Amino acid sequence: MSSEPTNLLQGTLDLLILKSLVAGEMHGLAISRRIHQITGETFDVKPGSLFPALHRMEEEGWISSLWGDSENNRRAKYYRLTKAGQKQLHVETTRWGRISGAISQALQAS
Amino acid sequence: MPGLAKLRSFFRNLFSVRRVEKDLDDEVQSHLAMLVEENLRAGMSPEEAQRAARLELGGVEQVKEQVRIERAGTWLQSVFSDCRYAARQFRKNPAFTAVVVFTLALGIGATTAMFSVVYGVLLRPLPYPRPDRIVSVFELTTKGKPSHVADPNFDDFRDQSRSFLSIAKYVSDTASISGTSQPARATVARVSPQFLSVFAVHPIVGRDFIADDAKKGAEQTALVSDDFWKQYLNSPQDLSQIHLKMNGAPFAVIGVLPPGFHFPADADLWLAADTDGENTSRTSHNYSAVARLRDGVTLEQANLDISAIARRIHDAAVDQNDYLLKDGMVVPLQSSLTGSARPALLVLLGAVAFLLLVACANVANLLLAQASVRVRELAIRTSLGAARGRLVRQFLTEAFLLSLLGGSLGVLGACLGVKGLLALAPANLPRLESISINLPVLVFAFLLATAVAVGLGVFVAVRATSGDPREGLAEGGRGQAGSQGSQRVGRAIVAAQMAITLVLVVGAGLFGRSLLKVLEVNPGFRVEKVVAMDVSLPWIDDPKQRASQGIFFSQLIDRLKQQPWIKNVGAVSTLPMDGGLPDGMFALLNEREVPKTLDGFEAVFQQKERLGIADFCVASEGYFQILGIPLIRGRIFDSRDTAESQHVAVISESLARERWPGEDPIGHTIEFGNMDGDIRLLTIVGIVGDVHQDTLDSPAPPIVYVDLFQRPRPAITVAMRSDADTRLVATSARDILRDLNPEIPARFRTFSQIYAASLGSRKFNVILIAFFASTALLLATAGVFGVMAYSVSRRTPEIGIRTALGAGASDVLRMILGQGLRTVLIGVAAGIAGALVLTRTVESFLFGVAPTDPFTFAAVTLLLIFAALLACYIPARRAARVDPLIALRHE
């Protein structure tokens, strides 16, 4: 729990979840840890934000879930990317590229 | 399918609550367990591991709640909880709920019932394929009025127009049908062969007309309605076995039309009109015409088409006179059928809308009062974090539930109401059979309830949630200051209610006074104790052959006269108020001037100074005696007048006055042969009193009466004066008729029935408007009472202080009454202004009263003020009796 800029931009969390699920299906804790890892330990997603996002995204049809056994033989709910989710990932990635580009450009302007 | 996934979770969230919740709980618990395991692996003690895991999770229940908020369908669940909350409110105040629901039921029910009539008559599509393509075709007279079409003009319309898929003409009449299980009087339409194709209707048994059916000399063929086929013919599949006679002439039944097809109104038989042997005159308007528009042709195009043909006919015609068409017109069939009923129905719909407004105003006041009691509750909810939107939604939900309840109850009431309306409805209201509570009417009722709910809900919510919650809490739900504003609104509503009610009651007053004025009109005849028997004999073309009809009627009348219970018997072509007489042009002509040729007659009818216009009535001597039509001068028909003697006429007083001013018409001779084809001159022998032949509210027309035995006609109404029971008269008269000729059916009515039916639409309008107005008055009075009583109960402490400071009971009484009266007077003033504008729109329905009739306005104003004062008086007296000690102890 090093740095904690908790106020993720709207939609950024979705993007990060989708991105981490590209690696394969995983449960909530694994997703949280994966985001921590792939963002260079910048983001730490709390369950209070993670689960609502997961459930919302499942209702949108971007991810699907199933119950399975964890590495320690514990029952856990696993999430996986759907076709619509892959499409959404592409959309969000493009959008994010546009936003971050625009912001950097704005910050570089003198 | 992302959309589908969402829909699936929406339903799962709603209906499998337990499973979804269990799943969520499992997931969060497993997450927690994994966190603990992770911490244990990192070397923490079990207690520490638990603690750190819980810290990171941030509370199982909180996480679950966060997820729930994100779920699809959350809003619906909150709607459910709003509804549950509303239901609890209703149960807490059953009296309030009952009054609101009943008031709304009254308003919505009455409006729905009225709308079902408007929908059935004016809006519901006619029951034929693509009914919007069917049009009526009219000639336009020199005065621009639509009229029937003359045969050659119809032929030109048919042959020259390019707008129609098919066009047909029709005329209907009653005829005697024999050869059936019992002789029947049926409405028979003579139609051209294309008639059915206009309606796109096909026989269910047998065949349609073909062009040959209309040829001269062809066997007479007819189609019958499904009802007639079942009732009189016992529904045989083989139509060739049916042998029927119409007015004595045999005809073949070639087809049966589908159930429900009865166009023109009430028709049971359709005869192929003899289009070969038709009238060549362009001014004998014998037929109505209908047509089906060709695809892609608009009404405007069809109108231009017909108008061009009509004007060509007009310009080319030789016999130019006032009866020749000037132009032509095409109108959608539906509006031509119902156009006459439209204005009255729209006025009634407007009236019931006013009633609905008054009902809504009452409900709005009740809801406002209720909301002000809930100030504290609202304040608490606001301080606990409820957004204003959420509170507004709560009010909307409550209003919606109330109007839905009221609306459902109202629709039930409307089902009964429609039955009542149908029973009351005048017989001449078109399309009565299509009035019912059907799907479109239900949709209307639902939309109406929704509109009422939104209107009331938004209004009350905005009023109730606009205050500062701190005030609400501080006031403790008791205070006076905060409710001043809502009381002002309440009084404004009451004033508006009074204004609307005044307009309605003035309308009812004007309609009612018009009816009274109509009833005051002296009809020119007596109505009581007359039984009418309609009889029609076979049609005979040649006037010279018609003597047999005269003989038959003379025998019939003589036989009836011999009955001891019949005081007198007369006969007439058409009784007053029973559909009117034909009118035409007659010419003053004496024996020496009678032309020898047809051209000569035409020349006579070009000489304006010789001409006159009158109704043509065939009657017997007894007719005048039975109806009490007074002889003014000369004589009426008697035994001197026989078929061979000089033909005589009796004329009405107004005709004598207008056509022979300052002269004695008796002894003059007139030529009126164009009415019955008999060109023998008529000598005027007497003048009788005027009779309101058509309606009481139109002037008595000029009438020429001719003697039934000199100018017989096949269809007459026999009028019998008798003190005996109507059924007895009918039975024995029918026996006598059967004895003379068993193939002739008769129809019996009393003259009183005919007379009452002629006032039917006026009474219908009066009854409905009076009902709407009195209900509105009742509601408005209740509204005044409610607002005043509420105001008094709110002001009890203040009144207590006033009394303690020395105000007497009469001062308090005056103060409260004054306050109420001010509100009422504002409303009444606004109402009078509104009524002055609005009553002008109903001027055409009034008779003998001006739309600004001062008597009606004054009486209604006084009535309203009196009712309102009465409603104020009860609370005012309660206020005057306030005991200052008790009132102040309240504090």
Residues B240-279: pLDDT tens digits? Answer: 888 888 877 888 899 999 998 888 888 899 988 866 556 7
Which of A4, A49, A55, A58 has the highest number of chain B CBs within 10 A, making it the mutation to test binding with B?
Answer: A55
Is there a contact between B37 and A53 if contact means CB atoms under 8 Å apart?
Answer: no
In angstroms, the CA B403 to CA B491 distance is: 23
Residue of A nearest to B56 (CA): A46
pLDDT tier, B183 (very low <50, low <70, confident <90, very high otherwise): confident
pLDDT tier, A9 (very low <50, low <70, confident <90, very high otherwise): low
What number of H helices and E strands is found in chain A? 4, 3
B730-751 confidence digits (pLDDT tens):
998 999 998 998 888 888 999 9
Residue B700 vs residues B124, B344, B659: alpha-carbon distances, Å? 37, 24, 15
Q: What is the DSSP string of B193-231?
A: TTHHHHHT---SEE----GGGGSTTSPPEEEE-HHHHHH
Instruction: Provide ipTM, 2 decimals.
Output: 0.86
B577: closest CA among B750, B450, B695?
Answer: B695
At residue A3, the pLDDT reads: 38
Is there a contact between A62 and B30 if contact means CB atoms under 8 Å apart?
Answer: no
In angstroms, the CA A93 to CA B396 distance is: 42
B847: closest CA among B510, B400, B480, B446?
Answer: B510
Contact B60, B53 (CB under 8 A): no
The count of C-alpha atoms lying within 13 angstroms of the C-alpha of B534, restricted to the half-sphere facing its C-beta, is: 16
Which of B24, B31, B70 faces A29 most closely, judged by CB atoms? B31
Residue of B nearest to A84 (CA): B2
At residue A1, the pLDDT reads: 36
Is there a contact between B67 and A77 if contact means CB atoms under 8 Å apart?
Answer: no
- Where b means 16+ CB within 10 Å and e means fewer, B397-417 reads bbbbbbbbbbbbbbbebbeeb
pLDDT tier, B178 (very low <50, low <70, confident <90, very high otherwise): confident
Which of A17, A54, A59, A64 has the highest number of chain B CBs within 10 A, making it the mutation to test binding with B?
Answer: A59
**Other CB atoms closer than 10 Å to residue B877's CB: what's the count?**
15
Residue A4: pLDDT over 60: no
Number of cross-chain residue pairs from A and B with Cβ atoms under 8 Å apart: 81
Residue of B nearest to A79 (CA): B27
Sign of dihedral through CA atoms B857, B863, B866, B868?
negative
In A, which residues are within 8 Å of B30 by CB distance? Answer: 27, 70, 74-77
Tokens 């015609």 locate to: B317
pLDDT tier, B109 (very low <50, low <70, confident <90, very high otherwise): very high
Contact B366, B100 (CB under 8 A): yes
Is there a contact between B71 and A72 if contact means CB atoms under 8 Å apart?
Answer: no
Mean pLDDT in residue range A61-76: 85
In angstroms, the CA B185 to CA B177 distance is: 6
Tokens 């592409």 locate to: A90
Parallel, antiparallel, or unpaired: how do β-strands B244-246 and B249-256 relate? antiparallel
Longest dimension (CA), chain B: 142
**Other CB atoms closer than 10 Å to residue B237's CB: what's the count?**
8
Is there a contact between B30 and A46 if contact means CB atoms under 8 Å apart?
Answer: no
E-only strand ranges, chain A? 26-27, 63-69, 75-81
In A, which residues are within 8 Å of B66 by CB distance? Answer: 48-49, 51-52
Is there a contact between B56 and A46 if contact means CB atoms under 8 Å apart?
Answer: yes
Mapped onto helix, strand or coil, the DSSP state of residue B533 is strand
B108: closest CA among B352, B398, B395, B439?
Answer: B352
At residue B170, the pLDDT reads: 92
Contact B483, B791 (CB under 8 A): no
In angstroms, the CA B557 to CA B569 distance is: 6
B464-476 confidence digits (pLDDT tens):
777 666 665 665 4
Distance from CA of A55 to the nearest CA of B (A): 7
B122-155 confidence digits (pLDDT tens):
998 888 999 999 999 999 988 888 888 888 889 8
Question: How high is the mean pLDDT of chain B?
Answer: 87
Highest-pLDDT range among B29-43, B67-81, B622-636: B622-636
Which of A4, A13, A45, A51 has the highest number of chain B CBs within 10 A, making it the mutation to test binding with B?
Answer: A51
At residue B481, the pLDDT reads: 42
Strand order in the sheet with A63-69: A26-27, A75-81, A63-69
Longest dimension (CA), chain A: 57
Is there a contact between B30 and A51 if contact means CB atoms under 8 Å apart?
Answer: no
At residue B482, the pLDDT reads: 45
Is there a contact between A75 and B62 if contact means CB atoms under 8 Å apart?
Answer: no
With residues binned 3-state (H G I as helix, E B as strand, rest as coil), the percentages for chain B, rounded to 5, are 55, 15, 30
For chain A, the residues whose C-beta falls within 8 A of a C-beta of chain B are: 27-29, 46-49, 51-53, 55-56, 58-62, 67, 70, 72, 74-77, 84
At residue B702, the pLDDT reads: 95
Is there a contact between B2 and A70 if contact means CB atoms under 8 Å apart?
Answer: no
For chain B, the residues whose C-beta falls within 8 A of a C-beta of chain A are: 1-6, 9-10, 23-24, 26-28, 30-31, 33-35, 37-38, 56-59, 62-63, 66-67, 69-72
Give the helix/strand (H/E) hosting B687: strand B682-688
Distance from CA of B71 to the nearest CA of A (A): 6
Residue A19 has phi, psi (to 5 degrees) of -60, -45
Give the helix/strand (H/E) hosting B84: helix B74-92
